[in-house]
A and B are shown apart, each in its own frame.
Chain A
């Protein structure tokens, strides 16, 4: 089945078709979505800034210290809980409403690649501002820049325990009897850059952990801060290159490592494979992966150029339909296809929105709750499971009954899938006994759940 470019652009590279929204008609238009999404200012997608979020945490800490009443403590905790609830709804709403589908997908890919999760109270307060500040503004530029931004954001420093790591021989380390934590260094190599097969050794991990000492958080402002007195003295040798040592420890040494590792061929291959798998298939085409990797090497990790390499290659289009949508992508594309009213994505007075955040949690993919530093799985077999599919069926009928009353199911099918609809699905939708059933069949169909 040959599907029009516009359909592929919206479904495979975006968050699906939406009535009244013009789909990109060529590669340049797809890439323009990346540019526009990247220029969306943090203040318009990120909610309260980091300073405000830091204040919520320090208020709670002050209350605890002063032995405040349980009621006051609870109220302070609820403020953080409600902020996260707002963050979750804000993310879904923005993604549903954004006309820059490919840019939003690219953003979600990198946010999941540099995954953080609301593991504790402090993280609950800050995770919502992480991608708006550290991912979105940098995702169309050099990977080294994106890496530096992600690796120095307080959310990442908290999540991978870097904020407390100190050089054992640093002034602060000696004074406070503290030392190294390898967690961040290991994930930085294994997950974020060269990958598990990237040829590094335990010694590299150790040396990198030493090099990374000093990365910390200004807890009052809620911003990144470099603490020279926590940095391990002396030079470190990571992946064959030497960093720092001659002068007083400085952030420049760490930044130099980020820039170096960003352009290593192992990083290029690891990320090319991951991007290709994300957009095309759990078993990505080897030629396509190499096409992206070589663009990465040639442009020293220019992410816009790498995105262009993906969009332009025929193999990225030939496997249309091979990839299954994760629950987040399924729910967002459903709400887009249903042209859902704003109320379907807004934060309700209590709890989670029944049309978006709540079903997303039921399907196992609550935003900001990725299960590990590796982020969410995106393998079809992990999501298209019996309980997973049963949940999608239930959600499809909820939306069909409540949000698309009086919609002609044949028009709905055309709007949601255009020429990607299979004859079988058309037949079933046309023959459905009730209107809502036709809509539900569309949303539950394999082709709506694939891309």
Chain B
């Protein structure tokens, strides 16, 4: 803070927002947050961020690729242990709660996808690129979903709500984001209100947080033990989407499986399956107008490492679910796993920009134009033909 400041406690809203942007990916201190937005469309979009780099080669194992057993002698499960997708790929058994969706065309995998982030393999930078939607060299400070909401005709920016602590960068930006957590409630006597109004009036950061806390004090808190868990989060998102919200975003962590991956990946995969199941249950009839996209900052090394885990890689997989899918089970072009096929001789090579899927989703669900998406939402992406994801 520089010397132009008048009072030591006066910080402009602008400075505060500048401090916010770009930091939320690193460490979200409170509960897993979620964000919502209203639009006039009847369609629903759920974006699930898989923080920590999901191993796409385990989640949707390319058991038909003969190289896999050589690269992953300890980790590859083999066709018999998997739930087959198309004779080449199989779902990890921890995803069994949603395995029946494949047959009905409600679950697809986009494989060998990545963001434009390359080579440094840092979670924090990778998640920033994933959330801001930037291309190479683009330094965007607000979330791509936020920019999309701002361009959807009739979308109401003031209605974005985030659950928990820090708002997701994916919806962070020009829109006012109010936050809500299952636990915090604020009940104040009228005279106490009047005192606190004055106490915070001169400090924009505290004033904004206080006013939103008071406004949200009326929201009914979630009940039950799992209020803060993935089940609670997905259930809450489903409830919001069944009412007026049309876009929801939240994240599931625990994917950074450097060690003993055979055991450690089961929990996050199970949580992903649970989140999708709860969403579908809660959404009921609206499910057929819903698209769920689960994306991660990057994939993991093609070879297992020395301790039964995998390290940070490049291309991974994205999950697509909902009632709007084409029914094609595995999307994208498979690059192969021969040494020469791998990116830098270590990672699954990306053959598709994951932003093409999210971009086409925004186009189909909310009517954004190709030009808007290529220029404003995902600078640097070439949208091209629909990748076969939607019906």
Contact = CB atoms under 8 A, between A and B. Distances in A.
Interface residues of B, number: 68
Contact of B213 (A164, A183, A380, A389): A389
Contact of A283 (B15, B120, B180): B15
Interface in B21-80: 23-24, 26-31
A380 B204 CA distance: 12
A364 interface: yes
Contacts of B166: 377, 381-382, 385
Q: Which among B16, B124, B305 has the highest number of chain A CB atoms within 10 Å?
A: B305
A69 interface: no
Contacts of B20: 379, 381-382
A282 B202 contact: no
A295 B198 CA distance: 43
Q: Which among A168, A202, A281, A318 has the highest number of chain B CB atoms within 10 Å?
A: A202
Contacts of A362: 183
Contacts of A391: 184
A125 interface: no
Contacts of A178: 306-307
B155 interface: no
Interface string A334-365: 00000000000000000000000000001011
B271 interface: no
B192 interface: yes
A395 B382 CA distance: 52
Interface in B226-263: 256, 258-259
Contacts of B305: 179-182
B203 interface: yes
Given A377-B23, A444-B196, A384 B206 contact: yes
A319 B120 contact: no
A41 B19 CA distance: 38
Instruction: Give the secondary structure class of B's interface.
Output: loop
Contacts of A190: 122, 124
Interface stretch (A83-91, A302-310, A422-430): A422-430
B29 A365 contact: yes
Interface stretch (B3-11, B276-284, B328-336): B3-11
Contact of A182 (B3, B17, B183, B311): B311
Contact of A385 (B3, B18, B30, B123): B30
A436 B138 CA distance: 52
Contact of A319 (B1, B205, B213, B217): B1
Contact of A321 (B8, B185, B311, B344): B8
B8 A181 contact: no
Contact of A422 (B24, B186, B202): B202
Q: Which among B9, B178, B200 has the highest number of chain A CB atoms within 10 Å?
A: B9
B9 A374 contact: no
A285 B5 CA distance: 13
B191 A433 contact: yes
B23 A382 contact: yes
Nearest to A362: B183
A251 interface: no
A424 B198 contact: yes
B16 A380 contact: yes
Contact of A161 (B18, B122, B196, B309): B309
A161 B258 contact: yes
A390 B202 contact: no
A226 interface: no
Interface in B302-347: 305-307, 309, 311-312, 344
A282 to B, nearest CB: 4
Interface of A: 1, 3, 161, 164-166, 168, 173, 178-183, 186, 190, 196, 201-202, 205, 280-283, 285, 318-322, 324, 362, 364-365, 370-372, 374-377, 379-391, 393, 420, 422, 424-425, 428, 432-433, 437, 441, 444-447, 449-450
15 contacts: A161-B258, A164-B259, A164-B307, A166-B307, A201-B119, A205-B121, A319-B5, A322-B11, A372-B123, A381-B23, A382-B24, A382-B28, A387-B30, A390-B213, A450-B203
Given A166-B307, A181-B311, 4 more contacts: A178-B306, A381-B166, A382-B165, A422-B7
* A-B interface, 7 closest residue pairs, ranked by CB to CB distance from nearest: A179-B306, A387-B184, A321-B8, A319-B1, A387-B181, A386-B213, A322-B1
